[in-house]
Amino acid sequence: MSAPVLENLQVGDVVAERVYEFTRDTLVRYAGASGDFNPIHYRDDIATSVGLPGVIAHGMLTMGAAASPVTEWLGAAGVVADYQVRFTRPISVDGERGASVTVTATVGVIDTEARTARIDLRVTYADQTVLGKSQLVVTFA
């Protein structure tokens, strides 16, 4: 795959797509790496006792996974200068089926003078948006 070039981008271009399969094992590994051992991420009884549908994925795991296809697409052609999301809905991770999270990254705005592009992310689980107003600003070298 060749490095992206700012001048070749157009608003509306889909620059990356990915489906992630989160499992309970994924959550355990992320908890160990992040130090976030909140039991809502591994115990159904605790999660339901606080009003959740069951064990849910870590918000930062979801946020990091969502940005990953963009950073892979961008490679050494630039850097992520800003990344923001709104958490809109939890991702329930079933003990047997897990959870499929879909990420689609689309060019939203291009500023050729500043050499930046805003990449809008559509992040869904069970056909519902889980990260709202999810946007990265990338600066090209």
Q: Answer whether residue 1 shows pLDDT above 70.
A: no
Q: Answer whether residue 55 shows pLDDT above 80.
A: yes
Q: What rounded mean pLDDT belongs to the chain?
A: 97
Q: For residues 107 and 67, is the Cβ–Cβ distance under 8 A? A: no
CATH fold of 10-22+59-140 reads Thiol Ester Dehydrase; Chain A (3.10.129)
pLDDT in tens, 31-54: 999 999 999 999 999 999 999 999
**What's residue 2's pLDDT?**
83
Domain spans in the chain, listed from the N-terminal domain onward: 10-22+59-140
Residues 64-72 have a mean pLDDT of 98
Spell out a b/e string for 3-36, using b for 16 or more CB atoms within 10 Å of the CB, else e: ebebeebeeeeebbeeebebbbebbeebbeeeee
In percent, the amount of the chain with pLDDT more than 90 equals: 98
**What's residue 67's pLDDT?**
98
pLDDT in tens, 87-119: 999 999 999 999 999 999 999 999 999 999 999
In percent, the amount of the chain with pLDDT more than 70 equals: 99
